[in-house]
A and B are shown apart, each in its own frame.
Chain A
Amino acid sequence: MTAGLWENWLLPGVWITSQLTLFSAVFAAAVAFGIGIARTSRLWIVRFLTGFYVEIFRGTSALVLMFWLFFVMPLAFGYQLVSMWAAVLALGLTYGAYGSEIVRGAIASVAPAQREAAIALSFSPAQRMRRVILPQAIPEMIPPFNNLLIELLKATALVSAVSVADITFAAQLSRLATGDSLEIYAIILVLYFVLAFVLTRLMRLLERRAKAGIGQAPVKSGKGPLATRKLSARQESEQSSNIITGGAQ
């Protein structure tokens, strides 16, 4: 592979992939918290509508949604999104729906006595959420969010299908230019792995700080530096049911 390909395509590709991951993650987090909290609402219509959203976006395929936003939306509604933003929208909406289940689960796992105590102290519902529930729920969310973030990073490769010049797109161009399929794809697989590894380390750091904030020590995983995601049997089944669609419990 020549220096020109690196400078003109692969390195900018890494930058685009990083940007995509960041923007989609921020958007997905906003959706996840918005929908996740709304699903605990007392109004059935709010619960129903947010539940409907989650089932639709967890039910369909991210790639199909991306094509839909890219090809159908301009024709049907007259809006043409820049392909980068169509990609961010598709990834954010899909992974936001997955993430909302994590938020909902973590909120549900806060001890009921905490909520009751906040009611007894006559906190308003908003104060209750902000001061009591969320500070305890957020550290619980970080490990599953880490898994989801890696899934999101991997899903950003899909944007090459709608001509966003990310790492995968750069690889396709390089392959056409040089024909060194093995070398190019081996290099970008390693690039993705390094990105995933960095993200995992950052999330670990975040988890330690969040847990220290409420006076808990992080759970020692003790599984070597390569192990990114090890879950118990219960968590593993929760994890798997989270990445697919499923009826509200």
Chain B
Amino acid sequence: MRRRPETRIGRRFAALGDEGRAGLVAFVTAGDPDPETSRRILRGLPAAGADLIELGMPFSDPMADGPAIQASSQRALKAGMTLTGVLSLVRDFRTDDDATPIILMGYYNPIYVYGVDRFLADAKAAGVDGFIVVDLPPEEEADFCLPCLDAGLNFIYLATPTTDEARLPRVVENASGFLYYVSIAGITGTGSATADAVAAAVSRLRARTDLPIGVGFGIKTPDQAAAIARVADAAVVGSALVALAAGDDPVNAVLGRTRDLAAGVRGARR
């Protein structure tokens, strides 16, 4: 039986639908470049125009990520970030914002080591809405996706250019929150798909699911974000934001770029 926990994610997409526009999903790595700066970036994202937040749980071996997110994870780990620290950042964020959805994104091992049940309870209490765990395909759903649904949180599945028609029903079966379309066969922060290819893929996905569709990988500029916003329900930007966390004045740099991207998304005609 299909279960779709209701969280801030569904409410936010419903509100965006009422506004007649797509959303901006901003990805930043928790603890990058250090816990305090990361806290300020996180708290500033909604006002800068992020409609949903993906918060990266740093991992030592981010196999699906390109150089920008690899470096970002390394900075965060070096500055002492842990999974417990990630949840502290979420709790802090929730003292002022009870509406913006927070999705934790990362790899399974730190969660497995923390303990799935304890992690789900702690994440829910902290105010997390859902998860993207890159190395948990539907074949391994018993590990974390199903317990996640039992806990009333969303597990967001990835569909990719290699996900064929035969496989797509399995991918969407226990998906909730939204479906994340990875627009290129590759790692984060590298190539970009053409708008036409994304439009074709999104319509293929819409035939299989009524979940909102977010599109990510390779979206760097406000124009690219706008192009995605015309065909999908959300544009996800990660590498282009985290690359700015390494430079001078990371808070203003990340939030400034978020404002530019949000303007692109909000200005896009559907």
Do A and B interact? no
Binding site for B on A (CB under 8 A): none
